[in-house]
Copies of this chain bind each other. A is one copy, B any other.
Amino acid sequence: MKFNTPTTSVLYSIEETIKAYRKLSQQNISRIVPNITIDQALILIIIDREDKTQSEIADLVFKDYASMTRIIKLMLDKEYLIKTTDIQDKRKTKLSVTKNGKQIIEKLKPIIKENRAVALDAISDEELQQLYNILNKITKNCQIKK
């Protein structure tokens, strides 16, 4: 089997899948929590769960630091987050989720769970594992520095 033309490469399928999933997720999230993006939702949950600096969280969700700054800013404006500077190292940022933010998270959790369930419906554990392994191989291939 060949995957030679632009629109028949698996890379193209990966784009298609992630876009379809993002669309589904955003639609379902918007029904319950208006005015939050899936990126913000994921980042909000991670900040609540992990005690990390802004850059560490950015790395975790594959976001550029510049993007992260702006995403955080929007959530500060909406008062989902509070930002303080680390006393030990004033370059660093401490982020914490407000009560308001925590309420949002509680609303988001079941939707996110449901989104994943819908997306992965009828996909066996074996297939998930295969998918995971192949994707990891591709990711590693792409990360080889020259």
Residues of chain A having any CB pair with chain B under 8 Å: 1, 3, 5-7, 9-11, 13-21, 23-24, 42, 45-46, 49, 60-62, 112, 116, 118-123, 125, 127-132, 134-139, 141-144
Contacts and interface: CB of A to CB of B under 8 A. Distances in A.
23 contacts: A3-B116, A3-B128, A6-B45, A7-B60, A9-B116, A11-B18, A11-B116, A13-B132, A13-B135, A14-B14, A16-B139, A17-B138, A17-B142, A19-B62, A20-B139, A120-B138, A120-B141, A121-B141, A123-B137, A127-B130, A127-B137, A131-B131, A131-B134
**Which 8 pairs across A and B sit closest by C-beta, in order of nearness?**
A20-B142, A24-B142, A17-B135, A13-B135, A20-B139, A17-B139, A131-B134, A121-B141
A142 B19 CA distance: 9
Contacts of A18: 11, 14-15, 18
Contacts of A7: 46, 60-61
